[in-house]
Structure 1
Amino acid sequence: MRFYSRKWIRPADLNSHGSLFGGQLLQWIDEEAAIFAMCQLNNNPNIVTKYISEINFTASARTGDIVEMGMEVVAFGRTSITLSCEVRNKVTKEKIITIDRIVFVSLDANGRPSPHGCTEERD
């Protein structure tokens, strides 16, 4: 798992219970996963999120916490790439959320699935 991105939790990121709003975290994950997928697919910006598997919230974060998002390639398909994700507290390393599968599909100019030609993970 590679942890490239970090977010500092601010009051605007909280829900009514004073903890990190799950929707905000999912937005960050979708963006970070898309960037990671694009980099894996030779900087191909023509991808879309097709599927996100079960999302497992195991802890929370509060104002002032720093969270880091980790991504790793699970599989390459002909037109798709599947990633897994983990978000953890930077200081304590406690897992906040895990997602086993996030699938992105490469598209052609007409919005149809298109082969991406990638078969192995890149740095």
Structure 2
Amino acid sequence: MDAKPCIDSLTVKNSHVLPPDTNTHGTLFGGKLMAYIDDVAAIAAVRHCRKPVVTASTDSVDFLQPVFEGDTICLEAFVTWAHNTSMEVFVKATTENLLTGERKVCTTAFLSMVAVDENNDPTPVPPVYPETEEEQWLHDHAQKRHEHRKNRRKESKELAEKFGTSLPWLRNS
């Protein structure tokens, strides 16, 4: 498979933050922002590999700035790194006050997306290469983030096995 530049997967989504999108503080629901993040990451991943994808993991999402009703939210996503069947996608979300023009980065996130075939089995993806200094920085640190995700996934599996499906507080004494 031929390698592709990061820019080929660039995906941009803009949304106006309306009252149904907000909580009692008049700010965008965190879950709504996370749904936007997953959506743009999936589109970027499909653009890169031209295959269906599933979300394998989302790194921590830190809400750095509030997004207020009436603002816009702009999400930008692109594939920063590829490994066998998976892709790391970087997402940056920026809020803009339309009346003042003030813009702030409200969150950044990395997601791992896995390409799947018609049987939903993982399938190979093309490599990706950086062209800008920022893309190079993200690409250079991707292997470390990948290892961190593998360790976190192992811990998650251990927790799932330990706690299983039972509700420990309902056990008979």
Question: Which TM-score applies when normalising by structure 2?
Answer: 0.63
Q: Deviations over 1:73-104 (max 9, x none)?
A: 221111011011110113322111111x2000
Structure 2, unmatched stretches of 5+, are 1-6, 131-173
Verify: 1:64 aligned to 2:70, yes or no: yes
Which fold has the larger relative contact order, with Cα–Cα distance below 8 Å and residues 6 or more apart in sequence? 1
| Larger relative strand fraction | 1
CA distance in 2, matches of 1:83, 1:48: 12
Number of the residue aligned with 1:95: 105
Report the AA paired with residue 63 of structure 2. F
Number of the residue aligned with 1:37: 45
Number of the residue aligned with 1:108: 117
**C-alpha contact 2:81 2:129 (8 A) present in aligned 1:** no
Q: Deviations over 1:13-51 (max 9, x none)?
A: 00122111000111111111111111111x32x210001
Number of the residue aligned with 2:54: 48
Question: Which TM-score applies when normalising by structure 1?
Answer: 0.86
Alpha carbons of 1:57 and 1:4: their partners in 2 closer, same or farther (altered >3 Å)?
same
Q: What is the aligned-residue identity percentage?
A: 26
Report the AA paired with residue 56 of structure 1. D
Structure 1, unmatched stretches of 5+, are none
**C-alpha contact 2:78 2:89 (8 A) present in aligned 1:** yes
The CA deviation at 1:121 is: 5.6
Give 2:34's match in structure 1, choosing from 26, 33, 42: 26
Aligned with 1:48: secondary structure? Answer: strand
